[in-house]
Amino acid sequence: MNGSYILETEGLTKEFRGFVAVRDVNLRVRRGEIHGLIGPNGAGKTTCFNLLTKFLEPSQGTIRLNGRDITAEQPQRIARMGMVRSFQISAVFPHLTVLENLRVALLRGQGISYHFWKSGRLLSRLDGRAMQLLEDVGLASHAHVVAAEMPYGRKRALEIATTLALEPELMLLDEPTQGMGHEDVDRVMALIKRAAAQRTVLMVEHNMKVVSGICNTITVLARGSVLAEGAYAAVAANSAVIEAYLGTEAAPATAATPATPVGAAA
């Protein structure tokens, strides 16, 4: 155990009826960093996320959060311990307004999720913090817009805001820029950097512009195993990483300005 690491795994393995999706992964996420998890299609990235947050049970291995063994913990318990995850698809309440989505998240963060039926006057006490979060993610002017009416990029920003409302110590972001145009990608990159100023971020990401632009450390998965780890420049120049990306749209080290390989969910 090392106090500089907020999240560690040893021998993390997941087998599905003879198929090993994640094999002997030893991951160490340093406190206060943005740590990227990348790899070609089928590498095991999302499976690894599901193991870390206990949406899947490991076949073998250990997971530690702040030095504490959480391998046997339930997902809701892990969230209460400060590790909160977003998903590949936007996970907001589409028929609530942006502000109402934040209220729900803040209620949950306070451990009173079932108080949503209380009067608007009482719930409005949460609006100050909700508006602060919306300001942080650039959505203050959209507070009273129904979530379903917003473009995809802003829905993802709202999801990050609702994640921040839970006051996580460690945020796990699963492909936060998937499906976005350049303008939205730049906005979300800036948002993640601001969020990481006070917490740790572990993110699965396929867009190499994002990975190279904001990640301090990168772990590359291939066929369920760790292939390489380090800073972007070292990883992008690794011949084994380049070979692993052959057959996708591009390898990350084939140009001075990295391309964007398709690292979809595994």
28: Cβ–Cβ under 8 A, 6 or more apart, which residues?
A: 2, 5, 7, 8, 9
Question: Hunting for tokens 């451990």 — which residue is that?
Answer: 111
pLDDT of residue 91: 63
Q: How many CA atoms lie within 13 A of 40 on its CB side?
A: 16
pLDDT in tens, 96-140: 999 988 888 888 655 544 454 554 555 677 888 899 889 888 899
pLDDT of residue 121: 58
Give the tokens for residue 171.
């945020």
28 DSSP β-pair partners = 8
From residue 95, how far is each of 134, 148, 150, 261 by CA, in Å?
A: 18, 6, 11, 34
Q: How many CB atoms lie within 10 A of CB 2?
A: 9
Question: Which has more confidence, 77 or 119?
Answer: 77
pLDDT in tens, 168-214: 999 999 888 887 778 888 888 888 888 888 899 999 998 999 999 99
Phi, psi at residue 121, to the nearest 5°? -60, -40
Question: In the chain, what are the domains?
Answer: 1-82+168-266 (3.40.50.300), 92-167 (no CATH)
pLDDT in tens, 41-67: 889 999 999 999 999 999 999 999 999
Kindly report the average pLDDT of the chain as a whole number: 84
